[in-house]
Structure formats: C-alpha cells, structure tokens
Structure 1
C-alpha cells in the first residue's frame, strides 16, 4: 500500500533544513510582494455571492478578528478559494448559496470524507538516552498508547565526543484513531505540584520559541509518556525531560490530521465536483481532504493544480509530463 511506503526497512528520511514552515512563509511573502494582503489572526466567518463595485460577480467574505472579539471585516473578491478540510468547512456559518443547508448537493460532497484524529508529543532531553539501547535514528513501534516514536537529531551532532550534554528531541508519540482518546484523558488533568525534575519544573530552563509554550504538555501527560518510553525501550530509568509539548489534531478547526474517503464515495467523481461545488458562484475548495493523495501534502498540491488549470486557465509547469 502506498500509505505504508514509509514503514519499509530500507526507507530513507529527508527533511527541509529549516523545517517545513519556511515554505508557506516564503509563499506568503511573495504574495505580499505581488500586491496581496494578508490578514493574520482573523477567522473566516461566512461568505456569499455578491456584486462587486465594478458590476461584475464575485464573493463577499466576513472575517472575525481573533484578538478583538466582535470586530468584523468585510472583503469583496472576484473568487474565494477555501483550502480547508471538512471540519473547517462545517464551522463556517451555514449561509450563502454554497453552504446553505438546503443545498443538498454541496452538503453531500463535503461529507464524503471522514476526519481522522491524530496526536503528537515531542519530548526534549539533555542527552540522547536512547543510544544506550543502540538506537540512533529511525522509528520504534509498540502496542502501548504511544504507538510509535521517531528519533530526531541532536544539537551539535558533529561534536561526537561530548554525548552527555547534547540537547535531543524525541517524537515520543505519533498515533491516531482510538489511541488519541487515551491521551485526551490526560490533557486537562490538574496536578499539584506540577512535574518536577532535578533542575526544577520541566520547561523552566527552555528559552526557545514562545510558540513552544503554547502547546506545553501537562504534568500527568509527561509522567505517563516517561513510563511508557521506559517500558518500550526496556529501561528501568531514563533522564527527566526539560520540556515537552503535544498537539491533538482532532481539535477545531482541524477536526483531524487527515481525511479519508467514506465507503462507497467515488473519489474520482467527487474531486472535480467539489473543486467548484456551485455553478455560477466563484467559490472553490481544495486541499488534502478531497484529493487522491489524502494524508500527504502531495494531495493538497494535486487539487490546487486541478483548480488552477481547470478553472483559472493556468498552464502546467514545464517539468510536468503527460504521465504525471
């Protein structure tokens, strides 16, 4: 199966040097340089077909400020592209020609996929303790709720001599479906005192990006991940972490990390329809959720190409062959 191609023994892993985030940031920067406007910290509330000031047809969008509740911005556009999964679409106000609940065709198209929750937890240590069991890279799998963990790089990798003072990050848990519910029980649990290490409360000595603290794992979750990591690696003790974060992609506005086609859904029919769900209304939907590459960024890119080529008249790149 294509979905399992990253699980083969001889697979190699490659990563973007500065992470994936620079890609959308660079695209955003080029968009602004080309005259576009970006509204950060705003949420799309609703949209509807509208007549533009020049008399042509377009769309009116209502945006809500996340920082100033109650503040609404209305923007007119010739077209609206919703790069959104199912749950994000369902959170929009059910108004306008496209999302009107009486529009059974569009409602049926949106519900042809089901979101799949996923959970990730990253734990930081001052030393790569997993090397004691001769693990230096790759992935480990278990039937414990952590399910699988990936061994990431270590700061100062070139300084092999000092292996006891190298901050290391472990993708300690990467799971989905029913395993996510296990961690949900530990999300909001209050503990006094919080998880404490020899150096103080975990996270107290981390001075990196403030975004890291927005996803800080609660003490109960840290204790449990430590317990399972020890059992998984056959160790009686492992070092205490200095920081840990988690992300539950089942939360709104995502609804899930990936989306899968429902049984009996004919994807080859749905994809071209949902890209432009309502005739005569310039509203388009693209993204991973309604693609033939669900769960992968390639799926999002493929639906974007369908939109650009079939509805905006753009030609495919020179490097694309007829065989794809």
Structure 2
C-alpha cells in the first residue's frame, strides 16, 4: 500500500493504515464499504452487549455436560495416546500439563497464538504470512463534569475522529444521567467518562511506549472529588497498564487541539485508565488470497480434524462479525450444521 493511500485512510477514517505491506485491492474495497458508504451500514449489537454471546455459549455448553476451562493456555498439540483411533485423534496440551483428547479440534486463535504451537504445516506457514496483525490501545479519562455539554463546546454526546494520535474520541456520559446525589454535599454526581483515545497501528504503538513502567516516567496520580474518596482516586488497574502523566498531558493537549480552544479550557481529569492490545486486529497482506487462505486453514491438510477460525482468517477482519462469520462457516461447511435461525441467507456468501 502506498504512503499516499495510507495517509488517505488515516485522514478519512481515523484509522492509521499500519504497515505499508497491506493488500491494496482489499484496502480499496474496505475503504469504499466502511468509510465512504459507512453512513449506509447497518450496525447491530446484541442486547446486553457482545459478552452475552460467549456467556450464552458457555452456559449452553455446560447444560449439555461440557466443561469450560478459563486461563488455560494451549501450548501444543499431539496425537492422543489414550482411547481408540476411532474415538480420539488429537490432544491439546496445556500449560497445566493436562491433555484434552478429542475427535475434532476447533481453534479460534490468531496467527501469533497458533505460531506458538510446536506443530507446523504448509497451510499454517501460508496463513502466518497472509494475515498481518495490528495493535490497538484505549485511554479513558474521568472528569468531574461533562465539560463538552457547556460553552464553547455545546454538544451532548457523540464521537469524533481526527488525524491526531488520539484518533477516535467518544464522549460516553455522566453519572448525573442516572439520578444520584452525594448525601453529605447534596450535589448531583456529574462524574463523566471520555474514551479520549481509541488508536490503532502506529499511534497505538506510540501510546503503549508512554506507559509509566515501560518509559520509566511518572505515573498519573489522579485526585479525589466529591464522589471518589482520596484513598482510591484511580480506577483499579485491572488492565495491568500504568497510565503515565505524559499520556494524560498529551491526550489533554490534543483534545484542546481537536476543539480549537486555548489550553486550560478543558478541566483536568481526576482519573485515567488505559489498555493496549499488541495483537488486536488483522489485515490481509500483499498477494494474499483470502478465500484460498480461509479454505486452507479451515481444515488443515496434515490434520484433517483440526479447524481454524477467527477474525484473523475472515472477510471482515477487525470486526466481531468477522469472528462470528468465520466460526459459522466452519460449523456449516465441515460439521454440516444448519444455519442459525433468522440469519440472512447471503450471510456466508462471501466465504463460498
């Protein structure tokens, strides 16, 4: 992909193009579909959020007698040594040392995780080179009030896109939207949250390298407000990412740039949290034939009962829908399951 094309993508969509070895023909199709015609797209989210899909799958699987193991990384594969060949074919090896034998194995893993498995096939070598990983990051800032609803800004909520390092900014809302009051002060709780930066590719890499522990710089300290005790001013560090003061300063500087206001117009945040995904999404590389790669990794040549699916090997890379379509393709194509009830008849047409 040329540097001009990459700049066009970043300026028009807010998504940095990432490495320049992307398949330009696929990029043009995606740009036309997602950016230029994005206003006509039909975006859908399950009631209750995307998490309900995995929760329902887990619950239904357990009802059928299945066992769910979390935090159990797969470290390798081998021929199963127990049971007859007709009953069991493959064994998944785990970090805990317990093998899981099965007739068939479906791995919803990206190329980085698959590459750590000790077995290799020509199909997998092709897939590793075809799907190029990209990184992403998010930086959340908490404020005492929804300053964007006041002058000189004057908007209630929404999203903004820019060519700055913050890329995408989402104004999420305030506690005052849900009637709440501090009994000691009688003030309405107006604590508000902003996704100050949702960045991908190079900008995400730059944000990741501003982490306090990695850059050996001062961590953001935060402060108390009327509704957050001074002993716990920060959001719990559940992501393992320590926000630096430099990250907050840069984000605040770029928020001022974005709205073309003088420094100090936007009040400082009282809390911050961030997360970085080294492998968050994928793109097809130069010369990749998505249909061919999807078929090859769908059912591996050397292991006829090992199947690969996921966003990395889909025709909707970077989207949860890509992972869902890829999984549905495997189940219908190789396990002869009927399509999901209510799904569009052409939902998998691009895969066949």
Work out whether residues 271 and 290 of structure 1, in 8 Å CA contact, stay in contact via their aligned partners in 2.
yes
Change (3 A) 1:193 1:84: closer
Change (3 A) 1:131 1:33: same
Determine the C-alpha separation between the residues in 2 that align with 1:86 and 1:219. Answer: 34
Q: Which residue of 1 aligns with 2:209?
A: 185
Q: Give the unaligned 5+ runs of structure 1.
A: 65-70, 251-255
Work out whether residues 197 and 240 of structure 1, in 8 Å CA contact, stay in contact via their aligned partners in 2.
no
2:271 paired with 1:243? yes
2:149 paired with 1:124? no
Determine the C-alpha separation between the residues in 1 that align with 2:232 and 2:189. Answer: 18
Q: Which residue of 1 aligns with 2:339?
A: 316
TM normalised by structure 1 equals 0.81
Q: Deviations over 1:181-205 (max 9, x none)?
A: 3213311233457534365999923
Work out whether residues 195 and 220 of structure 1, in 8 Å CA contact, stay in contact via their aligned partners in 2.
no
Determine the C-alpha separation between the residues in 1 that align with 2:345 and 2:47. Answer: 31
When you count helix as a share of all residues, which structure comes out higher? 2
2:204 paired with 1:195? no
- Give secondary structure in 2 for the equivalent of 1:73: coil
2:28 paired with 1:3? no
Work out whether residues 132 and 283 of structure 2, in 8 Å CA contact, stay in contact via their aligned partners in 1.
yes
Q: Which residue of 1 aligns with 2:13?
A: none
2:251 paired with 1:225? yes
How far residue 213 of structure 1 moved from its aligned partner, in angstroms, is 5.8
Structure 1 segment 70-149 matched on structure 2, within 5 A: 71-92=96-117, 94-95=118-119, 99=120, 103-132=121-150, 133-149=153-169
264-273 or 221-230, which moves further after superposition? Answer: 221-230
Q: 1:60 aligns with which of 58, 68, 91?
A: 91
Work out whether residues 149 and 174 of structure 1, in 8 Å CA contact, stay in contact via their aligned partners in 2.
yes
Work out whether residues 194 and 201 of structure 1, in 8 Å CA contact, stay in contact via their aligned partners in 2.
no
Determine the C-alpha separation between the residues in 2 that align with 1:26 and 1:211. Answer: 28
Determine the C-alpha separation between the residues in 2 that align with 1:203 and 1:177. Answer: 36
Work out whether residues 118 and 257 of structure 1, in 8 Å CA contact, stay in contact via their aligned partners in 2.
yes
Q: Give the unaligned 5+ runs of structure 2.
A: 1-31, 348-352
When you count strand as a share of all residues, which structure comes out higher? 1
Determine the C-alpha separation between the residues in 1 that align with 2:113 and 2:272. Answer: 28
Work out whether residues 204 and 242 of structure 1, in 8 Å CA contact, stay in contact via their aligned partners in 2.
no
Change (3 A) 1:3 1:52: farther
TM normalised by structure 2 equals 0.75
Change (3 A) 1:288 1:80: same
Determine the C-alpha separation between the residues in 2 that align with 1:227 and 1:283. Answer: 50
How far residue 50 of structure 1 moved from its aligned partner, in angstroms, is 2.8
Structure 1 segment 24-43 matched on structure 2, within 5 A: 24-43=54-73
